[in-house]
Amino acid sequence: MRPIVVGQAVTKRFGDFVALKEIDIEVENGEVLCIIGPSGSGKSTLLRCINQLEKIDGGGLWVDGELTGYRIVGDKLHELDDNQIARQRLATGMVFQRFNLFPHMTALENVIEGPIQVLRRAPKESRDHAMELLGRVGLAHKADAYPIELSGGQQQRVAIARALAMRPRLMLFDEPTSALDPELVGEVLQVMRDLARSGMSMIVVTHELGFAREVANRVVFMDAGQIVETGAPEDILMNPRNERTQSFISAVLN
């Protein structure tokens, strides 16, 4: 089975600042990888590079076996055009910290928007699939509610259903619970846990170390644009070897 993500020496700069320094990363199909690390360490940047919201400055990134952003012709690399990049980006679904639902659309309309407008699926089929997904995130009864009528946790669950409606092969989560009131965190983590159990490949940036410990197959600790340590959750979270990992984890736990 080929990996869902391969990154080799991935480098990303913003001006003179190097946000990602030659990152090597591999995520297996069906794997849940959690990324932890201090603010500014490059976690969001890495996710944004994987789904091509950012363009990398060096190295290579493959998603589901396909080199992202380029086509290899002979021994030359040709940059893909916007349409080709848009097509590649469909392989990944992304859920952000702040819910980005369309405020003027109901939950159901938010979920069917992409399949109908982008994938050109039939309305009936899109609606059936959307209702199934809203059911999966426990919100079938809120299909006709507008975002403003939903709690933050419910909005975030609709955002997950909306991403899944595009039938992605990889889901990226960027601190999906960190903007939520504490009592709403659990319901979103439960949906993510179910998704992981269903076999979805997932990369999750999170400060929820309990979730990482329970659900992740592997945990990556990033600092200053580099992967400092990678390993099984119990090793990274309970017995980190690197001093920077140790101090980060004790800071999060205290």
- State the nearest-atom distance from the C-beta of 205 to ligand ATP, in Å: 7
Site map for ligand ATP, 11-30, x if CB under 6 A?
A: ---x--x-x-----------
The one among 32, 34, 43, 89 contacting ligand ATP by CB under 6 A = 43
For residue 42, state whether it binds ligand ATP (rule: CB under 6 A): yes
- List Cα–Cα distances, 184 to 154, 178, 189, 191, in angstroms: 8, 10, 9, 12
Burial tier of 80 (Cβ tally within 10 Å: 0-12, 13-18, 19+): middle
Beta carbons of 166 and 93 less than 8 angstroms apart: yes
Question: Do the Cβ atoms of 225 and 213 come closer than 8 Å?
Answer: no
47 in Cβ contact with 252 (< 8 Å): no
Q: CB nearer to Mg ion: give 39 or 83.
A: 39
Closest approach, Cβ 146 to ligand ATP, in A, equals: 29
Are 79 and 69 spatial neighbours (Cβ–Cβ below 8 Å)? yes
Position 177 contacts ligand ATP (CB under 6 A): no
Residue number, 39 or 254, with CB nearest to ligand ATP: 39
Stretch that binds ligand ATP, among 41-49, 84-92, 140-148, 181-189 (CB under 6 A): 41-49
201-205: strand order across its sheet: 92-95, 170-174, 201-205, 32-36, 218-223, 226-231
19 contact, one of Mg ion, ligand ATP, none, CB 5-8 Å limit per kind? ligand ATP
Looking at the DSSP assignment, which residues form a beta bridge with residue 142? none
Q: Quick one: which of 12, 25, 44, 114 contacts Mg ion (CB under 5 A)?
A: 44
Question: Is the CB of 43 or the CB of 244 nearer to ligand ATP?
Answer: 43
Choose the contact partner of 40 out of Mg ion, ligand ATP, none; CB within 5 to 8 A by kind.
Answer: ligand ATP
Regarding 40 and contact with ligand ATP (CB under 6 A), the answer is yes
CA 158 and chain centroid, separation? 15
Chain positions contacting ligand ATP, by CB under 6 A:
14, 17, 19, 37, 39-45
